[in-house]
Amino acid sequence: MSWPGIISHYREFLPIADQTPVVTLNEGNTPLIFSCRLSGILGLDVYLKYEGLNPTGSFKDRGMTLAITKAKEAGMQTVMCASTGNTSASAAAYAARCGMECIVIIPEGNIALGKLAQAMIHGAKVIEIKGNFDVALGLVKEITAKYPVALVNSINPFRIEGQKTAAFEVCDSLGNAPEFHAIPVGNAGNITAYWKGYKEYKKTGRSKQTPVMLGFQAAKAAPIVKGKIIKDPQTIATAIKIGNPASWKMAQAARDESGGLIEAVTDQEILAAYKFLAAEGIFAEPASAASVAGLLKLHKNGYFKQQKGRVVCTLTGHGLKDPNIAIQNIGKPATVKAELKSILKTIGY
């Protein structure tokens, strides 16, 4: 049987009626990949929830299928979001899917090339501002409060509802919730969504436990870790370059209720984790690598000593989203004459 998308598959957990016009690109059902290298290092079984394999290449599709579906059901014709890139790519695609107009506001010069290309090719009206994501979100909130435009950022509760299905999938794959769940934190919608999903699955008896939630922010964009708004956040992981997360309180609740933590990782640690994953055949964007960087850091500090069980780590977006980062950090291919001799010499034969 082919996978119908998260709304049809997890219908009973979502606010969907018989007549709701489901807008889907068959998102979800992403693989949970066993990581030999990470498991070897941590001494626990580590699985990677590879959300880069969603239709637009990030976890945002889980929330967007529901947010756009509900906007369509409410008779809206236009949706709008602020974005560090992936939300805009997803909103543009799902709006195009059902013939809605999409407007996105993005921080100028701070969007990975692939994400910008996606928003443009799907026909969104893309507006760059000379300001960061937090400023963009403030403007979007103001506009959507006054005009007949549906806001599809994660302060829209349907986004969180859709995204919680990733936790369901993890439990369905493993037969239970894992002991630990690691995840990057930007606007903090996803950690909120996973925690909600894990709690609901336990409550309905589909899993026996909930995991300890481990969230990671970039060191110079770590408002939750620092306990204060960061006015000018900085990180190479542009997806999580956010200084005032909308779901701040909910992320803290996920951390505290689960006995977990939210910590910071440096850009250097993020890049090292990014390359570490690639060396095992998995290409995730830098923001996604923050969760792996966090696991490696916790391991170094002895956090997993005496611990048993399974760790799931969400890789939120595909590496192809941000090709510039890869090239900048790895270098260019060797260029040689079109002849056997030069090629063999370059190979080292």
Binding site for ligand AN7 (CB under 6 A): 58, 83-87, 154, 184-190, 239-240, 285, 287-288, 316-317
Considering beta carbons, is residue 207 or 217 the nearer one to ligand AN7? 217
C-alpha dihedral, 217 to 219 to 223 to 224, nearest 10°: 50
Considering beta carbons, is residue 68 or 176 the nearer one to ligand AN7? 68
Residue 135 CB, nearest approach to ligand AN7 (Å): 13
Sequence-ordered list of residues with C-beta below 8 angstroms from that of 228, at least 6 positions apart, any chain: none
Considering beta carbons, is residue 126 or 209 the nearer one to ligand AN7? 126
Give the Cα separation of 49 and 288 in Å (integer).
10
Residue 169 CB, nearest approach to ligand AN7 (Å): 17
Residue 4 CB, nearest approach to ligand AN7 (Å): 24
Give the Cα separation of 340 and 41 in Å (integer).
41
Residue 154 CB, nearest approach to ligand AN7 (Å): 6
Considering beta carbons, is residue 62 or 176 the nearer one to ligand AN7? 62
Considering beta carbons, is residue 105 or 176 the nearer one to ligand AN7? 105
Q: How many CB atoms lie within 10 A of CB 330?
A: 11
Query: In which residue are the tokens 């030069």 written?
Result: 342
Give the Cα separation of 43 and 307 in Å (integer).
9
Radius of gyration of the chain, Cα coordinates, nearest whole angstrom: 20
Considering beta carbons, is residue 116 or 176 the nearer one to ligand AN7? 116
| E-state strands within 202-276 | 212-218, 261-265
Residue 117 CB, nearest approach to ligand AN7 (Å): 14
Q: How many CB atoms lie within 10 A of CB 95?
A: 29
Closest CA to 263 of 301, 308, 310: 301
Residue 116 CB, nearest approach to ligand AN7 (Å): 12
Residue 173 CB, nearest approach to ligand AN7 (Å): 21
Residue 149 CB, nearest approach to ligand AN7 (Å): 17
**165: Cα separation from own chain's centroid:** 13
Residues 8/69, Cβ–Cβ less than 8 Å: no
Query: What tokens does 42 get?
Result: 């941590």
Question: At residue 145, what are phi and psi to the nearest 5 degrees?
Answer: -75, -25
Considering beta carbons, is residue 189 or 197 the nearer one to ligand AN7? 189
Closest CA to 31 of 203, 178, 170, 136: 170
Considering beta carbons, is residue 160 or 176 the nearer one to ligand AN7? 160
